[in-house]
Chain A
């Protein structure tokens, strides 16, 4: 037992670092009473250390503490995404006036950001239903508090309350699903679950199979809530609108990445027979879950896009657009091949850059103009050409047009879908949706470039060089990765390996 613990802990340096960072950040506020925002630098140091220590997990294909937590290339990939977006969001937060104006609790703010990141790290590797539940709870608990951070803003309180209520319902559904699966297979870790299913204990056509389907749908409730897939998306617009924008950005990228990681791991491992040489998954007889995911994918992207058309608040519009993007990414899971997963991973890298960039621009513009309304973006191109230019790049990329990162992401997803026979209809729906999304992204674009603001709103907005540099950090890669994406593709393809025991 001692050796197990030692060898397990030696693979968990980033997680341990984040745990210690949480405690240090929390207590740093007592030493930094005069400058509470400096707690952010404590957290930043911890995040950077965790980022470096992630290198120690590279190349490992193992599971620690029995088979509780997989440390494999797939998990490490998502952990990199999470920690990079974590570092960027910490950077946002240090610049954010919303947070500065409530700086007396900044210690807690940065501490919860750390615990949320820790939870997402655990989600990326969790391979036991119990660990899955616990890690999701850790993330949820932290994000509930963070979305209600702005105590004196009514929207923020509303966001937190709605988030808690919907969160409680989905964890309840998920726990119920877990209990059904335990009753059917007597297993909590997904490897034993697969072994039991492989013995034919649950035959298609039997009542036990119906139970399994019900249980899987209930568990999707838990995952779908994290990635805001329809019909578990209800919390998304209100929370994204009400939460501090830094948290919105983090939820829309990192939390979603962790949700996808946990969902992919569950579906790949629990129902897998073998992986063929070309990376196609051979699913256990009768356990075809692809159609369930395909339906959710279609619902998610269609609803996200259609409702986004009517939004006047840019934050809320981006919330619906992030729902739609989750729908596109789910198409990669429907394919059930390693290629599909690699496509999701590529998409996520691109999505991280363009979405964080868009939220960054919304944040800095709101800090100058005090508004997040799309109408108040009129004439922005003349008032603040650099920032508006960056925003235009993000919008083009979010639509998925060349030569931007978003185009590459979509390209690989659609290529993966078309490689699967019988799912051409899904690709067609995806393309139609992309066209719909063009309309609402273009609306912001049109407001920025083709319309003049009111007289009193015609003065140039002066952004500091830090802000312009900040938006370029996102805008430049959005273009660069649209033209030169070889390394990312390579990285994703090398990281599809899941620990399969």
Chain B
């Protein structure tokens, strides 16, 4: 029964091996001619400005917290969706109540402007 997880294990193993090989291959085979430009922090081709270790705005935290709440909502919806046909309209209305309660919260944060970045 755990054999069903074999594909998952394979994907994990392949990605792990690929990651290790790819990062070390360049170290093994590539020529090493360092210059200040190359040694500087890689920032998508831009010249790095300031240190990366700066304080974040509290708004990121806000968004992350809201993300978790709606993440949990989706987790609740998933098993219901698996049995959607068997549970029928009855389950549909119950889920609608649940989603409705959370939409109230969404309406609140939109109205409150908590997601505006000003």
Residues of chain B within 8 A of A26, CB atoms compared: 104, 108
Provide the bound-state CA to CA distance between A437 and B28, in Å: 78
1/0 per residue, CB under 8 A from A, across B84-118: the answer is: 00000010000000000000100110010000000
Interface residues of B in 7-25 (CB under 8 A from A): none
Contacts of B107 on A, CB cut-off 8 Å? 27
Residue A431 is within 8 A (CB to CB) of chain B in the complex: no
Tally A-B pairs: CB < 8 A. Answer: 9
A351→B104 CA distance, assembly (Å): 37
Identify which of A1, A23, A27, A30 contacts B90 (C-beta below 8 A): A1
Nearest-neighbour CB distance to chain B for A343, whole angstroms, equals: 39
Chain B contact patch, size range: under 10
Categorize the interface residue count of chain A.
Answer: under 10
User: Is the Cβ of B111 less than 8 Å from the Cβ of A2?
Assistant: no
Cα of A2 to Cα of B89 in the assembled complex, Å: 11
| Chain B residues with CB below 8 A from A30, complex form | 111
Check B104–A23 contact: CB distance below 8 A.
Answer: yes
Residues from chain B with Cβ under 8 Å of A1 in the complex: 90
Tell me the complex Cα distance, A1–B104, Å: 27
Chain A binding surface, main DSSP class? helix
State whether A2 touches B104 (Cβ < 8 A).
no
Q: In the complex, how many angstroms separate the beta carbon of B77 from the nearest chain A beta carbon?
A: 18
Q: Which residue of A has the minimal Cβ distance to B107?
A: A27
The chain B residue with its CB closest to the CB of A2 is B90
- Of residues 1 through 60 on chain A, the ones whose CB sits less than 8 Å from some CB of chain B are 1-2, 23, 26-27, 30
Provide the residues of chain A in CB contact with B111, threshold 8 Å. 27, 30
How many Å lie between the Cα of A2 and that of B88 in the bound state?
13
Chain A nearest CB from B2 CB (Å) reads 22
Q: List B contacts of A23 (CB < 8 A).
A: 104
Could you tell me the distance in whole angstroms from the C-beta of A38 to the nearest C-beta in chain B? 18
Q: Which residues of B contact A2 (CB under 8 A)?
A: 90
- Assembled-state Cα–Cα distance A2/B93 (Å): 12
Q: Which residue of A lies closest to B93 (CB)?
A: A5
Minimum C-beta distance from A6 to chain B (A)? 12
Docked complex Cα distance between A30 and B104 (Å): 14
User: Which A-chain residue is minimally distant from B90 (CB atoms)?
Assistant: A1
Minimum distance in angstroms from A142 CB to a CB of chain B: 14
CA distance A1 to B108 in the complex (A): 33
A68 → B minimal CB distance (Å):
14
B92 nearest CB across to chain A (Å): 13
CB distance from A137 to the nearest CB of B (A): 13
Residues in B neighbouring A27, C-beta threshold 8 A: 107-108, 111
Q: Kindly list chain A residues whose C-beta atoms are within 8 Å of the C-beta of B108.
A: 26-27
Bound together, the chains give a CA A23 to CA B108 distance in angstroms of: 9
Chain B proximity mask over A287-304: 1 for CB below 8 Å, otherwise 0: 000000000000000000
Cα of A23 to Cα of B102 in the assembled complex, Å: 11
Measured CB to CB, the nearest residue on chain B to A1 is B90
Which interface residue of B90, B104, B108, B111 has the most chain A CB atoms within 10 A?
A: B108
CB interface residues, A 461-481, toward B, < 8 Å: none
B window 50-104: CB within 8 A of A: 90, 104
By a beta-carbon cutoff of 8 Å, the part of chain B in contact with chain A is 90, 104, 107-108, 111
* Given A2-B90, A27-B111, 7 new contacts (CB under 8 A): A1-B90, A23-B104, A26-B104, A26-B108, A27-B107, A27-B108, A30-B111
Q: Can you list 9 A-B contacts with CB-CB less than 8 angstroms, sorted by A residue number?
A: A1-B90, A2-B90, A23-B104, A26-B104, A26-B108, A27-B107, A27-B108, A27-B111, A30-B111
The 4 closest A-B pairs by CB, nearest first: A23-B104, A30-B111, A26-B108, A1-B90
